[in-house]
């Protein structure tokens, strides 16, 4: 009696698909899955659906997700702390080194160099090494930069230390935004993430003002920042295990075609189905005819090693084209410019408002607490206004927040009253708070998922550049005129943000 020959499943393929549901043993499913699926890929990773995991595995997976999300929150708290530390310390830095506003602003220039370098390298680093390694590297480098600030070295060392620390901060910020943007309910979770940034920025001026006004050398305050940065490094390393890679697959059903292998239907980011391959071989088997395996090899079936090489090479091409495509998307570069102005306005207000109140509103040493009010308002806005953003629409909400904040800037500009100025500064913080998470949320909904990682990383790093560029410009103008230039600078930045926001694509125009 003639028997139908069957292919033996390679050992590597058995290991790769051991956790997948087994198809019924019919003649049409005798073809083994491609061994190339055993390869680890950042774009097509075979995995079992979350709902099919045992209860213990699901609980462990939920715990790991929460730990990673918490680590991102801690990273943003430390970033907010670092960004807000300069404002209350500027008067003490000037007094210690006997330098002008322009010279002290060179710290922001150094930080900007670090941000730009991180923006240029972030996407490549995360593609090459994975998010887990890059975010931990950023935290370690941030801590390294703080080491050189503690001894109060000659002032030229400060901008260099800020450049190193800024490079690490920007890497963390980009990776944290990328990770949270890929989670379910990303809009709400992004608001919470950036509220953590506001929380760190709100607490820091309280500590810095109390520390510096007590007579202790201002530079010793950076030892507190160093302790936070080291703790952040340890927790990020634990949470992401230095091996986490972003899943960039689109959450829609599609077919991955690999030369010489059956098509693979991908359902979302979690399921991979191995469909039955009905070829001439199957038809002949069903008819009881004898089939020669050599005939099948002649029509394009390749050896496992060759197939695996083709699949790996194809993935490399995909990664390169995705990165280039992401950086040339209209939504990416418009959102980057918007965040450049936004973060510049945010840090300019938080960094120079204390000096403005001291010089132009005759405030006392406790003016540093006004910066706390601004950052605390920022955190509150991100938490409390998230439901309103959803109700009225995120695009419309940003228009309203910016227009109202611009009107309040004129109140500070033309009303010479310390109390009212302090209150309005806090209100502006509330209104500006939602803008960053909303812009990242819209970007993640406008672009297909495969572009999320490079696009969000580029926007976050480019936005961080604004946190150094515009505070420096404000300081240079303050040296020539007075710190009162802060208000026209803020109005100009908000006007630019309004114009750019009209050009940012709406989620309704999403294209896959």
Give pairs for 323-329: CB < 8 Å, separation 24+: 323/123, 323/124, 323/127, 323/454, 325/451, 326/123, 326/447, 326/451, 326/453, 326/454, 326/455, 326/458, 327/123, 327/454, 327/455, 327/458, 329/447, 329/451, 329/455
Residue 173 CA, distance from chain mean position:
5
Burial of 125 (0-12, 13-18, 19+ CB in 10 A): buried
Task: Name every residue whose Cβ is closer than 8 Å to that of residue 292 and which is 6 or more positions away in sequence.
Answer: none
Sign of CA dihedral 318, 322, 323, 328: positive
Establish if 461 belongs to a structural domain.
yes
pLDDT at site 248: 54
Q: Which residues of the chain have pLDDT under 70?
A: 1-60, 246-322, 508-512
Distances (CA, A) of 139 to 144, 245, 455: 9, 17, 21
CATH of the domain at 174: 1.20.1250.20
The backbone region for 58, taken as left when phi is positive above 0, alpha when psi lies in -120 to 50, beta otherwise, is: alpha
Residue 45 DSSP symbol:
-
At 307, phi and psi to the nearest 5? Answer: -60, -45
Establish if 259 belongs to a structural domain.
no
Establish if 285 belongs to a structural domain.
no
Q: Which two tokens stand for residue 399?
A: 């228009």
Question: How far is residue 80's CA from residue 83's CA, in Å, rounded to a whole number?
Answer: 5
pLDDT at site 228: 95
Give the model confidence (pLDDT) of 137-164 as tens digits.
999 999 999 999 999 999 999 999 999 9
pLDDT at site 150: 93
Could you tell me if 77 and 199 are in contact, meaning their C-beta atoms sit under 8 angstroms apart? yes
**DSSP string for 455-486:** HHHHHHHHHHHHHHHHHHHHHHHHHHS-GGGH
Closest listed residue to residue 443, CA positions, set 433, 456, 424, 428: 456
Sign of CA dihedral 479, 483, 485, 488: positive
Establish if 42 belongs to a structural domain.
no
Establish if 263 belongs to a structural domain.
no
Residue 120, SS3 per DSSP: helix
**Structural domains counted in the chain:** 1
**Strand spans (E) along 223-333:** 254-256, 264-267, 271-273
Residue 383 DSSP symbol:
H
pLDDT at site 206: 85
Give the CA dihedral 417, 422, 425, 431, nearest 10 degrees: -110
Establish if 305 belongs to a structural domain.
no
Establish if 391 belongs to a structural domain.
yes
pLDDT at site 362: 80
Give the CA dihedral 450, 70, 464, 164, nearest 10 degrees: -110
Closest listed residue to residue 349, CA positions, set 79, 84, 77: 84
Question: How far is residue 85's CA from residue 80's CA, in Å, rounded to a whole number?
Answer: 9
pLDDT at site 448: 86
Closest listed residue to residue 186, CA positions, set 445, 465, 3: 445
Question: How far is residue 510's CA from residue 503's CA, in Å, rounded to a whole number?
Answer: 14
CA angle 44/45/46 to nearest 5° reads 120
Establish if 140 belongs to a structural domain.
yes
User: Domain range holding 71?
Assistant: 56-248+323-509
């Amino acid at each position: 009696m003639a028997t139908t020959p069957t292919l033996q499943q390679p050992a590597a393929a058995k290991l790769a698909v051991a956790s997948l549901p087994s198809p019924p043993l019919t003649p049409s499913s005798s073809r083994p899955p491609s061994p190339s699926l055993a390869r680890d890929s950042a774009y097509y990773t075979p995995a079992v659906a979350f709902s099919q995991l045992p209860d213990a595995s699901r609980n462990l997976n939920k715990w790991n997700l929460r730990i990673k999300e918490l680590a991102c929150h801690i990273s943003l708290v430390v970033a907010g702390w670092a960004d807000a530390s300069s404002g209350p310390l500027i008067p003490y830095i000037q007094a210690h080194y006997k330098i002008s506003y322009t010279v002290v602003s060179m710290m922001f220039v150094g930080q900007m160099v670090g941000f730009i370098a991180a923006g240029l390298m972030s996407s490549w680093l995360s593609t090459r090494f994975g998010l887990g390694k890059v975010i931990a590297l950023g935290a370690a480098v941030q801590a390294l930069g703080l080491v050189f600030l503690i001894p109060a070295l000659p002032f030229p060392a400060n901008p260099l230390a800020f450049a190193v620390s800024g490079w690490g901060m920007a890497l963390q910020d980009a990776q944290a935004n990328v990770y949270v943007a890929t989670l379910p309910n990303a809009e709400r979770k992004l608001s919470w993430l950036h509220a953590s940034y506001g929380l760190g920025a709100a607490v820091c001026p309280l500590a810095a003002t109390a520390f510096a006004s007590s007579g202790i050398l201002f530079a010793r305050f950076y030892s507190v920042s160093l302790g936070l940065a080291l703790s952040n490094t340890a927790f990020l390393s634990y949470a992401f295990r230095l091996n986490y890679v972003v899943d960039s697959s689109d959450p829609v059903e599609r077919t991955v075609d690999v030369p010489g292998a059956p098509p693979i239907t991908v359902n979302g980011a979690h399921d991979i189905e191995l469909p039955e391959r009905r070829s001439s071989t199957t038809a002949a088997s069903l008819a009881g005819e004898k089939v020669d395996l050599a005939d099948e090899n002649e029509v394009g079936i390749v050896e496992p090693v060759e197939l695996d090489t083709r699949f790996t090479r194809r993935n490399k091409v995909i990664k390169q084209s995705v990165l280039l495509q992401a950086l040339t998307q209209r939504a990416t570069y418009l959102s980057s410019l918007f965040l450049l102005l936004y973060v510049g306005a945010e840090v300019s207000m938080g960094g120079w408002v204390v000096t403005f109140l001291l010089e132009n509103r005759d405030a006392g040493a406790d003016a540093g607490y006004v910066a706390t009010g601004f950052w605390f308002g920022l955190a509150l806005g991100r938490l409390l206004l998230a439901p309103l953003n959803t109700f009225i629409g995120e695009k419309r909400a940003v228009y309203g927040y910016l227009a109202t904040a611009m009107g309040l800037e004129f109140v500070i500009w033309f009303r010479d009253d310390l109390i009212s100025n302090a209150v309005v500064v806090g209100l502006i913080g509330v209104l500006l708070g939602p803008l960053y998470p909303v812009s990242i949320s819209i970007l993640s909904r406008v672009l297909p998922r495969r572009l999320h990682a490079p696009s969000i990383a580029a926007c976050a790093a480019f936005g961080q550049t604004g946190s150094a560029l515009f505070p420096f410009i404000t300081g240079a103008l303050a040296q020539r005129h007075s710190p009162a230039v802060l208000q026209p600078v803020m109005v100009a930045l908000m006007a630019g943000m309004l114009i750019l926001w009209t050009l940012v694509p709406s989620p309704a125009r999403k294209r896959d």
